[in-house]
Amino acid sequence: MAESIPALDWVTPALVLAAPIVGWPLAAALLATAAIAFLPDRIRRHVRLIAWLVAAVAVVAVAFVLEQGREQPIGVWPWAAAAALSIVGVLGYLADQHDDSKPMLVFLMPAALLLTVGLVYPAIRTTVLAFTDASGTFNGIENFVWMFTQPEALVTLGNTVVWVILVPLLSTAIGLAYAVFIDKSRGERVYKMLVFMPMAISMVGASIIWRFMYAYRGPEQEQIGLVNQVIVWFGGEPQQILQNSPWNTLALIVVMIWIQTGFAMVVLSAAIKGVPTEQLEAAEIDGANPWQRFANVTVPGIRTSLVVVVTTISIATLKVFDIVRTMTAGNFNTSVVANEMYTQAFRSGEPGRGAALALILFIMVLPVVVYNIRVLNQQKAIR
């Protein structure tokens, strides 16, 4: 048996397969780029873009052809390579519009490569995985049917909706009220520090703190949890707060509100200080009471900040995982989409279902992000 050459040990079967799939389309794109250098600028830009896009399509086509004769599927990485080639072509097309823009390619290419490896490829792979079963076989939309028909999955989706409604609204409302009440008061910095402190605690740390707050012991024992001790002081029976549904979900939501209120307070307090004093004084001269000044002058003046706070907290709430995992592990009907995604993919051996949940989570976050960007762009246009 022939001995392997140590210098060639790095040449793996995967690399040998990747060479024809990516190598010749990439070489063709580079040759085409060099060959059209003599063309006029406008034509050269368009032809070069077309060459890189054709190379991206060729990568996928070659991978599809080679996969026909293989027992093992190639996977979705050729799609990521095609996306990388497309990004390179588009960046080159945009940078060639102005000579001053060409140096930016030196900085954008590494970022584009990292985005492709760390974002585009995982997104494509997750999307493909969402349509497969536990063995990796394509099963259509069965994972999504499971998600919207099984009682456990419906409870998870319902809990997520409750989280997204209550946490942003209550965190923003409490933070705004606190910012208004302490504005220009003595000890304002200290009051802000006290409310903002939970933001400095990790989600897991905050969860452990609140587990002690909700701790339960039998009626005959001394309570160590503050909440149950207060209930006992008022003549009630101690409750297993983290096990009694649906109150346990609300108990978890309280933790998130406790953490996010400080963020809302700091941002909105800064926005309130930016409201022109002249407008408030003019409203007071016109006979407006404090509530009218707040509703008709202060709130419109901080609208952009309110949108940023609500959308930021909404996105954080949609992705909440640490609190649920640490306090209940999703048991007792407290699971949310992010926790269930982890449970299905890594605990139950159902990566397809986990990927489907991840895809639904992405779809839920996307409208919030788009709305945030639209509002910010509208505010910039007004200014």
CATH code, domain carrying 350: 1.10.3720.10
Band of residue 325 on the pLDDT scale cut at 50, 70, 90: very high
Amino acid at 192: K
Highest mean pLDDT, choosing among 90-99, 160-169, 177-186, 237-246? 160-169
What is the C-alpha radius of gyration for the chain, rounded to an integer number of angstroms?
Answer: 28
Predicted pLDDT at 44: 79
Q: The domain containing residue 68 runs over which residues?
A: 11-129
Band of residue 70 on the pLDDT scale cut at 50, 70, 90: low
Query: For the CA atoms of 123, 127, 129, 130, what is the dihedral angle to 10 degrees?
Result: 130
Mean pLDDT along residues 352-370:
88
Mean pLDDT along residues 180-205:
87
Total structural domains within the chain: 2
Same domain, 348 and 258: yes
Same domain, 216 and 293: yes
Higher pLDDT, 93 or 150: 150
Centre a 10 Å sphere on the Cβ of residue 1 and count the other Cβ atoms it contains.
3
Domain's final residue, options 103, 129, 155: 129
Domain's final residue, options 81, 100, 129: 129
Predicted pLDDT at 336: 94
Q: Is residue 30 situated within a structural domain? A: yes
% of the chain residues with pLDDT over 70: 88
Mean pLDDT along residues 190-198:
89
Same domain, 166 and 295: yes
Band of residue 38 on the pLDDT scale cut at 50, 70, 90: confident
Same domain, 162 and 87: no
Range in 17-21, 153-157, 191-195, 210-214 with the lowest mean pLDDT: 17-21
**Tens of pLDDT along 265-294?**
999 999 998 888 888 888 888 888 888 888
Query: For the CA atoms of 32, 33, 37, 38, what is the dihedral angle to 10 degrees?
Result: 20
Amino acid at 203: M
**Tens of pLDDT along 336-353?**
999 999 999 888 889 999
